[in-house]
Structure 1
Amino acid sequence: MCVPDSPAPSASELPPLVSRLKVSLVLENCGSVARDHLAAERTFLAYVRTSLVVASTGVALVQLFTISANTMMSNGASFLPTTQRIQAWARPLGATMVCFGLVVLAIGTLRYFSIQSALTKGMFPVARLTAASITFVLATVIIIVFAIILSARS
């Protein structure tokens, strides 16, 4: 029978690598313990995927604006001021996105360990502010990119 306050398995019951390194937290699978911890891992992996997408978007933005500028320059010299305006935004915006991707990865890592710690105490921290902040920053970047693209076309 599963008792929530039962002690963790002894070192002899753990896999050899886990018992040697003592880096793993082993909990008894009572009720939804395993499900909660696996959900926390899936959420961490979602943060990792999001950070990779954001960083890749930064690289793609630099490439997009560079290709756009090269295309405009090959069409004629009359687009030179627009080309310079696009190039002025390309690298800073791309670097910002790559840095924000690293920030999202750091937030996800910190959140994973705080959730793991809280779950062992029977608690769960809510992340409304974190999700709202990431959404706000990404929406702002999208608006800036569209503004740059629209200003280059006029």
Structure 2
Amino acid sequence: MSRILKLLSSAPIANTGSVARDHLANERTFLAWTRTGLGFVALGVALAKLDALEALAPALKPDHGDLKIQSAALVGSGTGCLSYGTMRYFSSLRLLKKGLFRPNIAGIALVAATSGAVAGGGILMVVRTEKER
């Protein structure tokens, strides 16, 4: 048990300059990645459950193949956000202890591309459903 506690705790760091502020900002960024990832996963699960809504509203006839692809993409991208955010947090933590910082260009580009692809897929799904009516 004490081994686990040692892994989960960290040594105090001198609060010179903006060290505490930087570490707290890193934690907030991690929480934002987590919130984004969980939002994607929740939306993916909600889309997967859209079949149940069809029974309530027969006029809503989603293409089940598109929904499965869309929900899998959302769950996958949400899981990716969670994984990347965790990796990024610990990477930034190590760099901040050394007094360094690395901008997050790749992660932002990845989320922007994934969000655009998922949104574009959703728009195509809606347009296709409207054409079938």
TM-score (ref. length: structure 2): 0.84
Greater alpha carbon shift after TM alignment, 95-104 vs 44-53: 95-104
Higher relative contact order (CA 8 A, sep 6+): 2
Given the alignment, which residue of 74, 83, 86 partners 1:109? 86
Residue identity opposite 1:62 in structure 2: A
Greater alpha carbon shift after TM alignment, 127-136 vs 106-115: 127-136
Unaligned stretches of 5+ in structure 2?
none
| CA deviation string 1:69-91 (max 9, x = no partner) | 5467x45xxx9xxx4x7111112
Q: How many residues align?
A: 127
| CA deviation string 1:107-148 (max 9, x = no partner) | 000000010000011100111121011111111111101111
Larger Rg: 1
Separation in structure 2 between the aligned mates of residue 32 and residue 41 of structure 1, nearest angstrom: 14
Residue identity opposite 2:28 in structure 1: R
Q: Percent identity?
A: 32
Contact 1:37 1:116 in 2 (8 A): yes
Q: Where does residue 10 of structure 2 map in the other structure?
A: 24
Q: Where does residue 113 of structure 2 map in the other structure?
A: 136
Separation in structure 2 between the aligned mates of residue 139 and residue 95 of structure 1, nearest angstrom: 15
Separation in structure 1 between the aligned mates of residue 70 and residue 121 of structure 2, nearest angstrom: 9
Cα deviation for residue 68 of structure 1 reads 6.2
CA RMSD of aligned residues (A): 2.2
Contact 1:69 1:87 in 2 (8 A): no
Separation in structure 2 between the aligned mates of residue 44 and residue 138 of structure 1, nearest angstrom: 18
